Structure 1
Amino acid sequence: MVHTVQELSIGHVSERTGLSVHTLRLYEREGLLIEPVRRSSGGHRVYTELDVEWLINCTRFRASGMPLATIRRYVELARKGPGNEAERLAILRTHQQQITERIDELTACLGLIKRKVGVYEELVADGVAEDPWSPTGHTPT
């Protein structure tokens, strides 16, 4: 059985990944795609399913706070092929640690907010006009 590679337009890739056409062009210029984007005979960008999968990875890397420069370095290593897995692993471990630290920080923030929500829920339910969190003792407006 012969497998054909489905060719996707930049518009289709934008729809599938949630990235704007402008961002897709930026990612290409920044060298963030594993393979260079092919062009049709008419000069239009032609993407593959593998490009879409990689771009979805990029959106997750970006959403997690990974800088474009770090993604670019990872891509450069991936393009070189086998032999640099330890460096790729180091990039991912470093970022994993940064995410873990950020999650811990956000968890502490969420704990504070949950406690304050509980206090205000009690105040509202009790109809109390005194606010223990306010320096004046009055419920803020």
Structure 2
Amino acid sequence: MAAVILPTIDAEVPAGGLSIGAVSEATGLSIDTLRYYEKAGLLLDPAPRDPGGRRRYGHDDLDWIAGLIMLRETGMSIADVRRMAELSRVPDTEAERLVVLEAHRERVLAELEHTRAHLTALEKKISAYTAVIALTADHDDDPAS
């Protein structure tokens, strides 16, 4: 299968990997969120540990986290992200992953349409208030009034 293009996190990763604090800084996720994502099974694999037991994240971990952030920011549920992680650990599950992604895309499109309708209403309100303010300003500038 061709490589799947995911968002990336621009961070220099040393040979021993990045600490959880450095990943937190690079991603904007809190340390607690990163720990939760691992505990909840949302990462592709648990973060490797250094001899002192501290998490160390490599390039592949950052790539997965970037994709996870994108999915969460588009509203994908924790359950669906977990399902994607589970499926991604198993070879030849591309069709199943596609089903999850297509269902999510439909939810995102519906939400986008809903947001567009709200934006249209907001723009109409802004136009109406702008017109009222302009009329009031014109009326206040009229010396005959």
Identify which of 110, 118, 130 aligns with 2:127. Answer: 118
Structure 1 residue ranges (4+ consecutive) displaced by more than 2 angstroms after TM superposition: none
**Cα distance in 2 for residues equivalent to 1:33 and 1:63:** 16
Matched, 1:48 2:58: yes
Matched, 1:63 2:73: yes
Identify which of 59, 74, 78 aligns with 2:84. Answer: 74
Structure ranking higher on relative contact order (CA contacts 8 Å, 6+ apart) = 2
Amino acid aligned to 1:92:
L
User: What secondary structure does 2:75 align onto?
Assistant: coil
Residue 92 of structure 1 is matched in structure 2 by 101
Could you tell me which runs of 5 or more consecutive residues in structure 2 were left unpaired when the two chains were aligned: 1-13, 138-145
Identify which of 12, 26, 29 aligns with 2:22. Answer: 12
Amino acid aligned to 1:114:
E
Amino acid aligned to 1:105:
H
Identify which of 29, 33, 38 aligns with 2:48. Answer: 38
Residue 26 of structure 1 is matched in structure 2 by 36
Amino acid aligned to 1:90:
V
What TM-score results when the alignment is normalised by the length of structure 2?
A: 0.82
What TM-score results when the alignment is normalised by the length of structure 1?
A: 0.84
